[in-house]
Amino acid sequence: MATIGAVLLKACLNGSRDQGEHPLLPVRPEQLAESAREAVAAGAGAVHVHPRDGDGRQTLDPEACARALRAIRGACPGVPVGLTTGAWIEPDPERRLDLVSRWEVAPDFASVNLSETGAVELAQRLLERGIGVEPGLWSVADARTLVASGLAARSLRLLVEAMEEDTAAALATVAAIERLLTEAGVDTPQLQHGQDRTAWPVLRRALDAGHDVRIGLEDVLELPDGNPASGNAELVAAAARFAREADRPLLGAGGRGRVRGDPAVPGTGLWSQADDQLEVEP
Ligand SMILES: [Zn+2]
C-alpha cells in the first residue's frame, strides 16, 4: 500500500490586477463565480479572491465581500473560499480591523500579511470569529515574526510568498523560509507561490518539495510556455498537469482529507481519507 502526499491547488482568481491587464480578469461577483466554477472544474480545491467595489477597486467592505462570497458559493457549493486582507486596501490598522470584524458573511479563510502593521491582532480577530488564517510570509523576518507570535499552530496553512522578481532569488527565499520553519519545529502546512516570472518555477519546486500551491491570474498571466493564458481555468489545468507529473494527486473541494479522483490517472478515484498522507486502496 503506497502512501502519496496529496496537494491542495488553490486558484487565486484576480488579486490586485487592474482590469486592463487581462480581458477575462474576474471583478464583479458573477464574474468571480464563473471563474471559480471553471477553476474548480479544472482541478482547484479552494479559491482566493480580492473583492471589488462598483468601480473595480479592491475593498474590504462587508457588503461587497458578502456579494462576492455568496456568488462564488452559489457556483461552487462546498468549495472553501478565502479573502485577502491586504493593508494596501485599507492602510489604517484600526479601520481594517473594524471592517473585518463587520464581515457578516464570513469567508472560510483569509490571508494576513505578517509584515503589515496590526497583522497579529487581525489574525487573532479572524480566529475568534472562526475564520481560518493564512499568515503570509514574504521573508525570513516574517517567518521569525510568525514563530514569535505563536500563530503557527493555530493557522490553517502558511503562505510562503516569494516577492522577488528574479527566479533564483525567489527560490532562495522560499528555501530559507522553509528551513527556518523546519528548524523552529513548525509543521503547519505550507502553500508556496511566486508571481509573474517566478510563478511557475516556485510552483514546480513546491510540488516536488511536498507543499501546497496556488495559481491564477493574481499570480501570473502566462502559461508555462510563455503564451498568454485564456483565463484562470487554463492556468489551473496547467498546474494540475505539473501536479500529476510530480505524483501529487489533487485534494478536492473541502481541502485536506479529501482527494479529487482523476479518471485520466489509474487508481486516483480510490483515495481514502487521512490528513495529507493518503493511502492507495488496492
Ligand atoms: Zn491575494
Buried b (16+ CB within 10 A) or exposed e, 132-171: bbbbbbbbeebbebbbebebbeebbbbbbbbebeebeebb
Ligand 1 center to 194 CA (angstroms) = 12
Q: What was the pLDDT predicted at 281?
A: 36
Domain ranges of the chain: 8-259
What pLDDT digit, counting tens, does each position of 23-55 carry?
999 999 999 999 999 999 999 999 999 999 999
Read off the pTM.
0.89
Residue 14's closest CA among 83, 69, 92?
A: 83
Kindly give the distance from the C-alpha atom of residue 176 to the centroid of ligand 1, in angstroms, as a whole number: 22
CA distances from 52 to 14, 67, 73, 76, 116 (A): 10, 10, 17, 19, 21
CATH number of 8-259: 3.20.20.70
Q: Tell whether the model's pLDDT for residue 257 goes beyond 50.
A: no
Q: What is the pLDDT of residues 84-143, one digit of tens each?
A: 999 999 999 999 999 999 999 999 999 999 999 999 999 999 999 999 999 999 999 999
Give the residue with greater pLDDT, 272 vs 145: 145
Residue 266: band (very low, low, confident or very high) from pLDDT cuts 50, 70, 90? very low
Q: How confident is the model at residue 258 (pLDDT cuts 50, 70, 90)?
A: very low
Say how many Å lie between the CA of residue 282 and the centre of ligand 1. Answer: 40
Distance from Cα 84 to the centre of ligand 1, integer Å? 5
CB 268 within 8 A of CB 244: no
pLDDT, average across residues 200-228 = 98
